[in-house]
Amino acid sequence: MNQFSYERPASIDDAIRLAQRTGSRFIGGGTNLLDLVKAGIEQPVTLVDVSRLPLAGIAEVSGGGLRIGAMASNADAANHPLVRTRYPLLSQALLAGASAQLRNMATVGGNLLQRTRCHYFYDTGFAHCNKREPGSGCAARDGVHRTHAILGASEQCIAVNPSDMSVALAALDAVVVARGPSGERRIALADFHRLPGDMPQRDTTLEPGELIVAVDLPPPRFTRHAYYLKVRDRASYAFALVSVAVALDLSGDTVREARLALGGVAHKPWRVPAAEQALAGKPLTDAGAQEAARLALEGAQPRRQNAFKVELAQRAIARALRAAATMNGSPAGAMA
């Protein structure tokens, strides 16, 4: 592990100023970054500790939405009364992630920034990883890629985003609030994570030195019929092979509005507006759910070992849609 300096800023402005130093990285809970530092994947010159800044609040905002501070722990966000009652999909997704101990430490801002769990990225014994060493190649393409992307991948990288929380936030039209040297800006969650393209080393659209200060949720529209389904190899402490976040606004049996996002299949939470639109204005039927699932996976390009993910994702979508329709506001989620 390389040597680095440690700074504890007294204010957000001070943190942003310190982050302008070459090689600076923000650290909050450290549940992902410290692993990367110990493995030699991240080699910061300076760690800027933002854990004690006043960014952990969760409160209703003007207009009826909710602001979740970037330093709120995953556990506090999942169990907050306003999240559980107004945004049960987010609570379910957070509770499906990691372990209770990690949720107590991991932060909302850090969750958004966690790196892929591709084994070729994490093991520096493998020389070919464009995300870790741009231009070196992608060992996963012809190696072990069972858990890797079937949508949105490129010749440069086929890794997936590991976050459960981000999938729910994408379905809920969340906005990331970031502050940097040029001031504050708002980034729709759909635009926050990048597809790999020819720059897989860049996971997000954050600019250097920008600090996530909050996540904003719009006024709640999907409090009763929301469901997060996580399909994984074992029942706890495992990343998703496929996950599905579904939120429905129902009038009787008719879908007035639908939100559908996938995890475990791409470099970012995956939403296909056509799949959501196919559900709107109609009763939710098995045939309708299957058509939405087909549209959501349109354009998938699986590889040899992960072709099973296409059918798995389609079946998971249909299952999650049926479950969401029968839910009645409970924050309890499902995992398989």
pLDDT digits (tens, 9 = 90+) for 197-251: 999 999 999 999 999 999 999 999 999 999 999 999 998 889 999 999 999 999 9
pLDDT of 331 > 60? The answer is no
Please classify residue 236 by burial: count the beta carbons closer than 10 Å to its beta carbon, then call 0-12 exposed, 13-18 middle and 19+ buried: exposed
The answer to whether 259 touches 268, Cβ cutoff 8 Å, is: no
Q: Where in the chain is the domain with CATH 3.30.43.10?
A: 1-53
Q: Domain 1-53 adopts which CATH fold? A: 3.30.43
Q: What is the mean pLDDT of residues 158-174?
A: 98
Report pLDDT for 248: 98
Q: What is the mean pLDDT of residues 163-177?
A: 98
pLDDT of 300 > 90? The answer is yes
Q: Coil, helix or strand for 327?
A: coil
Per-residue pLDDT band for 336 (boundaries 50, 70, 90) equals low
Q: What is the mean pLDDT of residues 1-18?
A: 95
Residue whose C-alpha is closest to residue 333's, from 88, 4, 164: 88
Stronger pLDDT, 288 or 235, i.e. the higher one: 288
pLDDT of 14 > 50? The answer is yes
CATH 3.30.70.270 fits 225-335, yes or no: no
| pLDDT tens by residue, 43-79 | 999 999 999 999 999 999 999 999 999 999 999 999 9
Query: Rounded distance, CA 235 to CA 92, Å?
Result: 15
pLDDT of 334 > 60? The answer is no
Report pLDDT for 333: 47
Q: What is the dihedral of CA 261, 68, 118, 105, to 10 degrees?
A: -140
Q: Where in the chain is the domain with CATH 3.30.390.50?
A: 225-335
Terminal CA-CA length for the chain? 37
pLDDT of 332 > 60? The answer is no
Q: What is the mean pLDDT of residues 160-165?
A: 98
Query: Rounded distance, CA 126 to CA 334, Å?
Result: 35
Per-residue pLDDT band for 2 (boundaries 50, 70, 90) equals confident
Report pLDDT for 80: 98
Q: What is the mean pLDDT of residues 291-304?
A: 98
Phi-psi region at 294: left, alpha or beta (left = phi > 0; alpha = psi -120 to 50) = alpha
Residue 323, H or E segment: helix 308-326
Report pLDDT for 330: 52
Per-residue pLDDT band for 328 (boundaries 50, 70, 90) equals confident
